[in-house]
Chains A and B, each alone.
Chain A
Amino acid sequence: MPSEFLIGLIFLPLLGACLAVLPWRWSIRLGVFGGLASLPALLAALTLAVIRDGAWYYTLGGWTAPLGIRLFVDPLALLMLWMVAIIGGVAAAHAWHDFRPGTPAGARFWPLWLLLTAAMNALFLSADLFNLYVCLELVTLAAIPLIAMAGTATAIRAAMRYLLLALLASLVYLLGVALLYNATGTLDLYLMTDGLAASGGPATSLAFALIAAGLLLKGAVFPLHVWLPNAHASAPGPVSAVLSALVVKTAIYLIYRIWLWTLPAEDPMQGAVELFAVLGAAALIYGGILALLQERLKLVIAYSTVAQLGYLLLVLPLASVTAWQAASYQLLSHGLAKAAMFLAAANILHAVGSDRLADLERLDQRTPLSLFALALAGVSIMGLPPSGGFLAKWLLLEAAWREGRWLLLAALVLGSLLAAAYVFRILAAGLRREDPTEAEDAEGTSPIGRRQAAYALLLAVLALVAGFGAAPILDIVDAGIPAGWSAP
């Protein structure tokens, strides 16, 4: 039955984490494979169930809401879960080389990684605000030591800053949740709507403002993004990939959930979507400009995340089927492309010993596959065809045009030109050679290097293939459009 699959998505990685804590090499192996490799199979079954039955709830232990805890799965949750399984899986395969079981680094790394996976899966399936708080906390607390695992002073400082700000964000969020519980007597996202419509007032508005502030900080939305670039840039490669592709999106996901599912359509706090859009547009431009000014490859990619998150907020006031498709597709294609870029950057950093753009000349000979992956993923980030990023941008432009939102449209266009500028700046740095007559050097790629590059390339190719496979994915997404958005 599908309900067991839901439980499995949370508990198998958790069980894996428990196994990975044990000191034996085999237990770590078993934990990682069991916890991660099982996810796609579970998801495939779950996808079939959602296609057949649509969105559905599962009540844990048979206790019905509002007393018990419910899990909820719909197309949006499904999309996020698939991203955790695929992007997380490929990043884990990439991490396998640096964090082997049996080494001290491996012993520290894998329990945290599996805990992070379990926490994200639980977050995407949770249907009540307090559970979401717990999951959000777990995601953060698992992510921070993973950043610090790089061991450098920058990484530890960045992790510390992330920790403090994330704790602040969680507290603010929790305060909002408490206020809402007081006002409505429930924590369930989907049962609260009626209570809110009845008891709306300054207190609930304050509650939503607090929740929004907490989530914007966790989601590194401009101008609360300050912690992100250093944290994402100094983490180990696979961790950076998962942080940018998945972890920051948990906060955006919650903004979507709360504003599009929980909050009644006539609530005054719906006006916040305009603020979100302004912040998104500002992030798009500010992040783009700062990405263009960075001197280190991983910082460019991290600021690109700040910018690309802007697209996801920009969508909110557009409220149409097209806009929803755009948001879903942007979630997916940015996740794939950004993870590919961070994995490729990790390989380049490993091969060159530095990720300063000035040191990256002749990458086409030194790390050809990783540079190629970076370029392919870059196509999607820039939103140029053929790629998933292009289709997302097209849908977004179309939605903005239909609504006559010219300023958003201008921000979109400017943002994608900036993206093109910073992506091509990286690629040009990699193709540069000081002396054109210089002979080819024999510095080939080792078999391990080739395998690590293949993981980056795999995700980049998926981002590109997403440019042709939109129809079936959007078919599923269309079944879960938020209520206010489906009207023409």
Chain B
Amino acid sequence: MTFGWQALPLYVVLISVVTAMLIFALGEGRQHVRTALNLGGAILKLVLIMLMLLAIQSGASFEFRMPLLPGLDLVLHADRLTMLFATLSALLWLITTVYAIGYLEQSPNRARFFGFFSLCVAATMGVASAGNLFTFFIFYELLTLATWPLVVHRGTPEAVAAGRLYLAYTLIGGVLLLIGLIWLHALAGGSDFIVGGSLAPLAAGNETTLRAIFVLFMLGFGVKAALLPLHSWLPRAMVAPAPVSALLHAVAVVKAGAFGLVRLVQDVFGFDLATSLGLTDLLAGLAATTVIYGSVLALRQSDLKRRLAFSTVSQVSYIALGVATGGVLATIGGLVHLVHQGLTKITLFFCAGNYAEGLGVHSVEELDGLGQRMPVTSVCFTLGAFGMIGIPPLAGFVTKWYLGAGAAASGAPWIIAVLVASTLLNAAYFLPLVHRLWFRPLPDAMAKRELAITGGRMQALVGPTIVVAAMALLAGLFAGTPGSPLFWVIRMVGGEP
């Protein structure tokens, strides 16, 4: 156990924990101190992650290890996948915090909200930097616990019911994960994540056991990643305030599930072993079904946030699809979507929050002509929608390009068909929204309605929206430039740009 600079991943997790504790201790009053704490914590965390990135560039490595039980350590480390996820969530945490400060300006229980918000990010950081499955599980469950108060934040019967559903899914998923973990532990001991998998030597004679363990893990992660048929909690959880939805969908819960699937295939089993056991086909099939099914259901939603939620169900499965297809190109596509989906979806949720706060717009029908009333938000929304559809040169296109190319390279043309169908469906549920925004006349009632957000609050909501929209745009536009998410992922996977 060393607490020197090698333990930096621990400190990155602890910053958010400490922020949360200070916010809880501070209580409801003293809003300025809380804001300073929130932003200070988020910025400090981002700075530390940047330092870690620089250090890793020059060959340093980070690991914190602490024995929890005989033979089981709490391990936090920083590999390339960690850094990808950690950077994304630290960056989006900062932006979402600014947004949430504006969003919740007048509402009660802000201390509780921001406290659990920080705790949620701490758990996400732990998930990102977990060095073995045991550590991963601890933070994965902590994430469930920290998110629940956010989902039921409003305390209405509807929110409480959504919280109950969320728990029912995630806790049962957690139990499946725990059983898989105990099983694997009995079989292999507390092996750390090793790129390429550490189970291959055990495979002979244990095929069925390993398959069962994989399925348990897949279901455990699949609940949070909203894999079919474990997705029902996600649309219901939309009763949470908009910044929560944004964070849930873009970086925290759903992403933690997807990240778990990536770790499972790449680092626990290793792609080759998983393929030889026929497991990647299973995952790819499930992911592809989810991609289509989520899109079909999104078509039918008239509530804006619910439509976005089903879009998430569909889009997050691209990550699992890419990783399960395998090969350099498809893996790049899947991993880069971790970032692309995050940036794009958070843009859309911010916009939905702006519409709801500004004009009380919740349903799709009310979007008519809003391009005139809220032009900046509407431009951002349009960018986000185009990005989701995958119109070049936006980020979604880059993902789909690599996924398609990877599918072709791996000899799985049916995946290309899935991608095409999904793109058409994405267009079918996003383009009408864009059409409504810009080409439908503004109803008189809406034209007369006063904007409920003004001044500083407006800046706090629209500013972050512009920033994430710009990031989503740039990630696609400059995908081939060093420093872009794509470039990063390509270097990580070890392919040629």
B-binding residues in A (CB < 8 A): 322, 325, 361-362, 364-365, 368, 372, 379, 384-386, 390-391, 394-395, 397-398, 401-402, 413, 416-417, 420, 424, 428, 431-433, 436, 438-440, 467-468, 470-471, 474
Contact = CB atoms under 8 A, between A and B. Distances in A.
Nearest to A471: B67
Interface in B166-215: 167, 171-172, 174-175, 178-179, 182-183, 185-186
B67 A431 contact: no
B299 interface: no
Nearest to A429: B160
17 contacts: A368-B112, A372-B24, A384-B141, A386-B138, A401-B186, A402-B186, A417-B171, A424-B163, A432-B155, A432-B160, A436-B155, A438-B108, A440-B108, A467-B68, A470-B68, A474-B69, A474-B70
A413 B69 contact: no
Contacts of B164: 424, 428
Contact of A401 (B157, B163, B167, B183): B183
B156 A433 contact: yes
B69 A364 contact: no
B438 interface: no
Given A417-B172, A428-B163, A401 B182 contact: yes
Contacts of A439: 108
Interface string B100-144: 000000001100100000000000000000000000011101101
A-B pairs, top 8 by smallest CB distance, nearest first, are A433-B155, A385-B138, A471-B67, A440-B108, A397-B182, A436-B156, A436-B154, A428-B160
A468 B68 contact: yes
Nearest to B108: A440
A362 B69 contact: no
A153 B174 CA distance: 43
Contact of B69 (A394, A417, A420, A431): A394
Interface stretch (B145-153, B226-234, B290-298, B453-461): B145-153
Which of A379, A397, A416 is the most central at the interface, judged by chain B CB atoms within 10 Å of its CB? A397
B137 A470 contact: no
B73 to A, nearest CB: 10
A260 B144 CA distance: 39
B424 interface: no
Given A413-B178, A433-B155, A471-B70, 16 more contacts: A362-B155, A364-B112, A365-B109, A384-B141, A385-B138, A386-B142, A397-B179, A397-B182, A398-B186, A401-B186, A417-B171, A436-B154, A440-B108, A440-B109, A471-B68, A474-B70
Given A385-B138, A468-B66, A424 B186 contact: no
A398 B185 contact: yes
B239 to A, nearest CB: 10
B28 interface: yes
A467 B175 CA distance: 18
Contacts of A417: 171-172, 175
A157 to B, nearest CB: 35
B160 A470 contact: no
A217 B74 CA distance: 40
B183 to A, nearest CB: 7
A395 to B, nearest CB: 7
Nearest to A441: B108
Which of A365, A431, A439 is the most central at the interface, judged by chain B CB atoms within 10 Å of its CB? A431
A57 to B, nearest CB: 29
A398 B182 contact: yes
Contacts of B152: 428, 431
A431 B150 CA distance: 11
A416 B185 contact: no
Nearest to A438: B108
Nearest to B186: A401
Which of B109, B144, B157 is the most central at the interface, judged by chain A CB atoms within 10 Å of its CB? B109
Contacts of B167: 420, 424
Contacts of B182: 394, 397-398, 401
A312 to B, nearest CB: 19
A428 B163 CA distance: 8
Nearest to A435: B156
Nearest to A416: B175
Interface in B237-264: none
A397 B320 CA distance: 30
A273 B405 CA distance: 62
A385 B160 contact: no
Contacts of B172: 417
B21 to A, nearest CB: 11
Contacts of B24: 372
A87 B23 CA distance: 28
A220 B179 CA distance: 30
B177 to A, nearest CB: 11
Contacts of A438: 108
A221 B169 CA distance: 31
Interface in B431-479: none
A398 B190 CA distance: 12
B384 to A, nearest CB: 28
A401 to B, nearest CB: 5
A379 B156 CA distance: 23
Given A384-B141, A440-B108, A470-B69, A431 B155 contact: yes
A325 B68 CA distance: 13
A325 B67 CA distance: 15
A362 B155 CA distance: 8
Contacts of B69: 325, 391, 394-395, 470-471, 474
A133 B175 CA distance: 42
A414 to B, nearest CB: 9
A391 B186 contact: no
Which of A420, A439, A467, A474 is the most central at the interface, judged by chain B CB atoms within 10 Å of its CB? A420
Nearest to B109: A364
Contacts of A394: 69, 178, 182
Contacts of A431: 149, 152, 155, 160
A428 B172 CA distance: 18
Interface string B41-81: 00000000000000000000000001111100010000000
